[in-house]
Amino acid sequence: MSGIQRPEWREGAQRLVQINTPDPGREIVVPVPTVPEAVWWEIISARLGLVASAAAGNRTPALIVDSGSDGGDYAIGLANGGQAPSTTVLYFFSEVGTAYAGLPPVAGTVIGRTVVALPYYLKIQSGHRIKTLTQGLDAADQLTLALLVREWTYVPPVDVITGEIQTMAGKLLAALEKKSCGCPLVATAVGAPTDQ
């Protein structure tokens, strides 16, 4: 019998996160909070509003998840087509398979509302970011964002007898020590000088 508890996800509360409205012409960046520790977000739904100015050119908004730095994008929901000048559209981003107001679970538009698919069960680590990126954004365009998120807590594998968090490296070293001459093993880089 093993004293190691399997890692698990614990479902937490659902929260409606209202984002402060930025200045016109500015994108929105929302960092996933780092406190409390080990809490991840899953986007159930996001409502992105775009009020396009009269300036020429279509706008195409996207909701992006990144690792906390530009260039670290790993998920994207991109609206189909472009939004015309002098229009107001609400974009609803939700997990694949989720319907909105009777629409089938695919992207589509109805009465100034557009449904955009997001990856299913996407858990976003604390410190990572949810942000907008709008192709053709004009300096007078106005964005708004609200997120409905489910919080998840990751519980790493723990030895229920000793209370120690288990890592793969720790398990491997412990297993090797049992099979060896009983001498303690020290992890070193290949070719690194040691005193042993």
94 and 169 within one domain: no
174 and 100 within one domain: no
45 and 15 within one domain: yes
185 and 147 within one domain: no
178 and 122 within one domain: no
Distance in angstroms (rounded) separating the CA atoms of residues 11 and 151 = 6
Residue 92 lies inside a defined structural domain of this protein: yes
What local confidence, expressed as pLDDT, does residue 95 receive? Answer: 82
Residue 112 lies inside a defined structural domain of this protein: yes
175 and 121 within one domain: no
173 and 115 within one domain: no
Give residues with Cβ within 8 angstroms of 175, minimum separation 6. none
Distance in angstroms (rounded) separating the CA atoms of residues 25 and 127 = 25
98 and 18 within one domain: yes
80 and 92 within one domain: yes
Residue 1 lies inside a defined structural domain of this protein: no
Which CATH number characterizes residue 16's domain?
2.60.120
Tell me the pLDDT tens digit for each residue of 85-121.
Answer: 999 999 999 986 444 445 444 445 556 788 888 988 8
Residue 52 CB neighbour total at 10 angstroms? 24
Residue 151 lies inside a defined structural domain of this protein: yes
109 and 184 within one domain: no
What local confidence, expressed as pLDDT, does residue 66 receive? Answer: 96
19 and 88 within one domain: yes
What is the pTM for the complete model shown? Answer: 0.73
Residue 2 lies inside a defined structural domain of this protein: no
Distance in angstroms (rounded) separating the CA atoms of residues 21 and 176 = 56
Q: How many domains does the chain have?
A: 2
Residue 122 lies inside a defined structural domain of this protein: yes
Both tokens of 120, joined, read: 């299913």
What local confidence, expressed as pLDDT, does residue 158 receive? Answer: 74
Which residues does the chain have with pLDDT short of 70?
Answer: 1-4, 96-111, 159-196
Residue 78 lies inside a defined structural domain of this protein: yes
- List the domain range (segments joined by +) for residue 15: 7-155
What local confidence, expressed as pLDDT, does residue 143 receive? Answer: 98
